Copies of this chain bind each other. A is one copy, B any other.
Amino acid sequence: MSITIKDVAKFANVAPSTVSRVIANNPRISDKTKEKVREAMDELGYHPNFIARSLASQSTQVLGLVTPGSSDVFFQNPFFPTVLRGLSEGAHEKQYALQLVTGMDEEEIYNGVVQMVQGGRVDGVVLLYSKVEDRILMYLREQRFPFVMIGKPFKFVDEITHVDNDNFQATKDATDYLLKLGHERVSFVGGDVNLVVTVERLLGYKNALEEAGITYRKDYVLHESFLLEGGKDAVGELMELPLSERPTALVIADDLMALGVLNTLNEIGIAVPGDISIMSFNNVLVSEMSRPPLSSVDINIFDLGYEASKQLIKRIEKPEEPAKRIIVQHNLVKRFSSGPLTK
């Protein structure tokens, strides 16, 4: 068994409660006693027991992280490590630890969240995604448990503190950019339609077309999984269109998908950006290393994570404050996968 507060108390000839106060740096303890107690702690190699502290104070200093149901594919996406780094840094600054919900499907993850929350394992939760329908969100809301979301809530936007990009504007910017390069047949390749981010981006895309006076075509809009395979499939679908109607530019909602597209186009002998321009999202590391390097909307993933943990901690410490919407800047990074229309 390790050294407890009682051992320190005995050693320093004070009461356990006094030791506790020294740990909390309570101003009503004399400097002399503090000194004495701290020496005792050092001498004995005392470390506070977090579990006991949590039980007594009803707070754990731990944040729970919730990934979408398909956590296997989510982990694969370079988005995840970066957002995690941001979360980690934000949490660390305030001495919070990070705990992951494990589980293979949505059901398991839901149960994991309930256990975490009811079991008092965490003080708050970060949802690393935003879905159109979400049991987990509904549950947390019902419980009035502190949580923040990365992304835009589908409902209750001004009740839920969330950290998001302006995905509508970002996609509009991306689309505008391609339109200004002279492209008129611009296609949108989005991810899972159950994700709010997909919905928002699609709206931004449509809006850009509209303002440019270009008719929206349903067969120019594709939805695939946020992965390499998704990119391949997308190309297949577009190539079914008659040659004269094929898009000359693509807005792709994720770099990995874009990589898939790039490779598939390469295989069938279509040049980028010669025949087709590509603009994608996230600006992860690999986007720089593809052939050609991808033009991509940098959404500052690290900041999304960093802000999320900061906001959650605020929410835990001051639950009465109103919900906030934090917008993280985006900016277009133009590389070589996009260029002016050549024909």
Residues of A that sit less than 8 Å from B by CB? 2, 47-52, 54-55, 60, 62, 71-72, 75-78, 80-82, 84-85, 88-89, 91-92, 96-104, 108, 112, 114-116, 118-121, 228, 256, 259-260, 263, 266, 285-286, 288-291
Distance, CA A52 to CA B54, complexed state (A): 9
Contact of B102 with A97 in the complex, beta carbons under 8 Å:
yes
For A259, the closest partner residue in chain B by CB is: B289
Q: How many copies does the complex hold?
A: 2
A-B contact pairs, 20 of them (CB 8 A): A47-B114, A47-B115, A47-B118, A50-B120, A50-B121, A71-B88, A75-B81, A76-B81, A76-B285, A80-B81, A81-B81, A89-B104, A91-B102, A92-B103, A92-B108, A92-B112, A97-B101, A98-B99, A99-B100, A263-B289
Contact between A84 and B92 (Cβ–Cβ < 8 Å)? no
Q: Complex formed: what's the CA distance from A98 to B72 in Å?
A: 16
**Chain B residues, CB < 8 A from A75:** 81-82, 84-85
Inter-subunit contact A51/B55 (CB<8 Å): yes
| A84 surroundings in chain B (CB, below 8 A) | 75, 100
**Closest Cβ neighbor of A284 among chain B residues:** B76
Residues of B within 8 A of A263 (CB): 289, 291
